[in-house]
Structure 1
Amino acid sequence: MSTIAQILPDGRIGEGIQNYSSNWDRKNLSKDGNVDGRVENYADVINGYYDGATELYEYGWAQSFHFCRFYKGEAFATALARHEHYLAAQMSLRPGMRVLDVGCGIGGPARQVARFADVQVVGVNNNAFQLGRAARYTQEAGLEKNVSFVKADFMKLSEQFGENSFDAVYAIEATVHAPTWEGVYGEICKVLKAGGTFGVYEWAMTDAWDPSLPSHKELAHKIEIGSGIPEMRPLRKAREALLSVGFTIEHEEDLAERPDTVPWYYPLEGNLSDAQTVWDLVTVWRNTWSGRITTHYGLWAAEKLGLVPKGTWDVGETMKIAAEALVEGGKRKLFTPMYLVICRKPQAN
């Protein structure tokens, strides 16, 4: 069957969803013989994952697909927005700037940043299904004059936009999907104007992670398979990559190391007593045993009835693997979803 015949009306590629989990050996996650294949075919891996996972993310995480810090008593949605506003503030975004959102998802952060900093945001995404939803939600919010979206490969940004095109660039838990950090950071540096700022929340294994240990390696693979990531890498590699492509780092910090009373991974633990507000009980419930069973069988039935594409249930099962691994990685300080770096492209000579 041709690739065209596999494209669904909403832009999703059915074959990609069905074949997604075949990129990993789920029976032996302590070893990995296919990392080169995933890295080489990163676009297919990412699209297969998000074609199946996007609606599940919206079900459990609303429109901003990222983690954040929490204050005691702070509502889930409020914390997510604060995390986005914090990045914009750290980058010193100013009204009228043209800003690129690399890996924009369905546009939740782009809409928040546009409102908060009064900037023009262009969101880049290579997933047609997500872009369609991003455009619809942006129109519903009345922000179509401030936020736009472009289908593009973030490894080819300069080819799409030209060099020196943006006043600032940010990425929220997205560039981990790139085949190499040097490649995506290099493209970001090219499209950024001289003196412009790049801000990123990066997913990384911490420097305490040791890939020679089978338990550490397995933890990374569990995060990969359940999150659509070709290869998890240590935090130091992100730092090295930023410097190697020419950025000057002005501030860096692993926000997961902050001594927060409420851990960043609490919504994944499924303890109802940890919900910070009454409204967040539903969010936490989805990760309790009863919530997972409901999702498990509900999604299975939806797939059988043709309400979601084939393969969606299997993608959902891999997401449960990741949820458990993310909590474990957070507790053991082996993984962070919020390595914050603010860096600048040097002024031209």
Structure 2
Amino acid sequence: MSKSGALDLASGVGGKLQKKQVLSTVQRYEKYHVHHGGDEEERKANYTDMVNKYYDLVTSFYEYGWGESFHFAARWKGESLRESIKRHEHFVALQLGLKSGQKVLDVGCGIGGPLREIARFSGASITGINNNEYQITRGKELNRIAEVDETCNYIKADFMKMPFSDNTFDAIFAIEATCHAPDAVDCYKEIYRVLKPGQCFAAYEWCITDSFDPMNQEHQRIKGEVELGNGLPDIRSMGQCLEALKVAGFEIIWEEDVAVNSPLPWYLPLDKNQFSLASFRVTAFGRFITRNMHCCVNDGESIRRKTK
């Protein structure tokens, strides 16, 4: 989307930013990334500012074009985008064995789409932690509309330094969120700390696969564009994520590259050659209409904390 289109949609849909702030915020965000002169260490050192600028800019666009759940999902033929996202969220709940009465944490909860869906599906009480003020405000409003205030709530805080006592939660999940962490081991250690011994953490991460060649300029270009387009300080390999979990104290009981076994490509909704009435707004033509009419690598893991 062009920057002029960003100005129009941000003004029409809402968000923390005022219209006059959008362009300068885009420019400050872009400077963190390699295509605009930034580097990985700078992104990691300033991850809070970088990620907040990213979500201040994109939250309204995401909700408008994608829905309330800001993540991809493996998708079956004949299945809509929204159906695949719901099925994935139900899968996470089933992997964790969630049930009514449990106290659960959603790490990096966005505006709470997965949180609300999983709470309704399982009956568990779920707290979302998020460091973006606008997303927390929007999530509370959506909770009120969905009438899930009694089972869903939010805490504004950095998930690298969570304001919870040790052994607080019966289960924890993170869906395309801990990939924003500047250090995977420290992030997973903090999750381990607040999870009750013997209980499970389910994570869904952006990862690079073994096919990635760091000496290949085209691979580096694609990686840099994914980091820019998703507010990531770096994209870790699957092996790095798994090793970080072990170092943090977890025992891995299931892991899979879910993209490999997806009948349809995970990136299909963003393929400019595809047309879909069901997900019109995220097609190339739909994005063109949105802009000009001014309508305004994945790895699943289930981990158990070792009992001490």
- Give the TM-score of the pair, scaled to structure 1: 0.79
Q: Paired residue for 1:218?
A: 221
Q: Counterparts of 1:118 and 1:96 in 2: how far apart (Å)?
A: 7
Q: Counterparts of 2:124 and 2:250 in 1: how far apart (Å)?
A: 23
Q: Structure 1 pair 10/282, CA: closer, same or farther in 2 (3 Å)?
A: closer
Residue type at the aligned position of 1:229:
L
1:24 equivalent to 2:33? Answer yes
Give deviations 1:137-164, integer Å, cap 9, x for gaps.
Answer: 011000000000010101002xx01111
The one of 216, 239, 252 aligned to 1:249 = 252
Q: Structure 1 pair 90/47, CA: closer, same or farther in 2 (3 Å)?
A: same
**Sequence identity, in percent?**
39
Please say if residues 272 and 281 of structure 1, whose CA atoms lie closer than 8 Å, have aligned partners that are also in contact: no
- What secondary structure does 1:20 align onto? helix
Residue type at the aligned position of 1:282:
F
1:264 equivalent to 2:266? Answer yes
Please say if residues 11 and 129 of structure 1, whose CA atoms lie closer than 8 Å, have aligned partners that are also in contact: yes
Q: Counterparts of 2:230 and 2:249 in 1: how far apart (Å)?
A: 29
The one of 268, 280, 286 aligned to 1:282 = 280
Please say if residues 16 and 47 of structure 1, whose CA atoms lie closer than 8 Å, have aligned partners that are also in contact: no
Cα deviation, residue 244, structure 1: 0.4
Pick which of 184-193 and 32-41 moved more. 32-41
Residue type at the aligned position of 2:280:
V
Cα deviation, residue 222, structure 1: 0.5
- What secondary structure does 2:92 align onto? helix
The one of 324, 341, 346 aligned to 2:301 = 341
Please say if residues 16 and 44 of structure 1, whose CA atoms lie closer than 8 Å, have aligned partners that are also in contact: no
Q: Paired residue for 2:7?
A: none
Residue type at the aligned position of 1:34:
D
Which runs of no fewer than 5 residues in structure 2 stay unpaired? 1-13
1:72 equivalent to 2:77? Answer yes
Q: Counterparts of 1:11 and 1:168 in 2: how far apart (Å)?
A: 31
Q: Paired residue for 1:295?
A: 290
- What secondary structure does 1:49 align onto? helix
Q: Counterparts of 1:281 and 1:227 in 2: how far apart (Å)?
A: 20
Q: Paired residue for 2:47?
A: 42
Cα deviation, residue 263, structure 1: 1.7
Please say if residues 31 and 38 of structure 2, whose CA atoms lie closer than 8 Å, have aligned partners that are also in contact: no
Q: Counterparts of 1:109 and 1:33 in 2: how far apart (Å)?
A: 32
Give deviations 1:101-145, integer Å, cap 9, x for gaps.
Answer: 000000000001101111000000000000111000011000000
Q: Counterparts of 1:98 and 1:107 in 2: how far apart (Å)?
A: 16
For residues 105-120 of structure 1, what are the structure 2 equivalents within 5 Å?
105-120=110-125
The number of residue pairs the alignment matches comes to 292
For residues 140-289 of structure 1, what are the structure 2 equivalents within 5 Å?
140-157=145-162, 160-258=163-261, 260-273=262-275, 275=276, 278=277, 280-283=278-281, 286-288=282-284
Cα deviation, residue 212, structure 1: 2.1
Cα deviation, residue 78, structure 1: 1.4
Cα deviation, residue 272, structure 1: 4.2
Cα deviation, residue 39, structure 1: 0.4
Q: Paired residue for 2:107?
A: 102
Residue type at the aligned position of 2:301:
V
Q: Counterparts of 2:86 and 2:166 in 1: how far apart (Å)?
A: 30
Q: Structure 1 pair 12/103, CA: closer, same or farther in 2 (3 Å)?
A: farther
Please say if residues 12 and 128 of structure 1, whose CA atoms lie closer than 8 Å, have aligned partners that are also in contact: no
Give deviations 1:303-323, integer Å, cap 9, x for gaps.
Answer: xxxxxxxxxxxxxxxxxxxxx
Q: Counterparts of 2:279 and 2:168 in 1: how far apart (Å)?
A: 43
- What secondary structure does 1:105 align onto? coil
Q: Counterparts of 1:25 and 1:179 in 2: how far apart (Å)?
A: 16
Cα deviation, residue 91, structure 1: 1.2
- Compute the RMSD of aligned alpha carbons: 2.1
Q: Structure 1 pair 71/241, CA: closer, same or farther in 2 (3 Å)?
A: same
Please say if residues 89 and 117 of structure 2, whose CA atoms lie closer than 8 Å, have aligned partners that are also in contact: yes
Cα deviation, residue 295, structure 1: 3.5
- Give the TM-score of the pair, scaled to structure 2: 0.89
Cα deviation, residue 262, structure 1: 1.9
Q: Paired residue for 1:54?
A: 59
Q: Counterparts of 2:75 and 2:38 in 1: how far apart (Å)?
A: 38
- What secondary structure does 1:71 align onto? coil
- What secondary structure does 1:70 align onto? coil
Please say if residues 46 and 177 of structure 1, whose CA atoms lie closer than 8 Å, have aligned partners that are also in contact: yes
Q: Structure 1 pair 144/281, CA: closer, same or farther in 2 (3 Å)?
A: closer
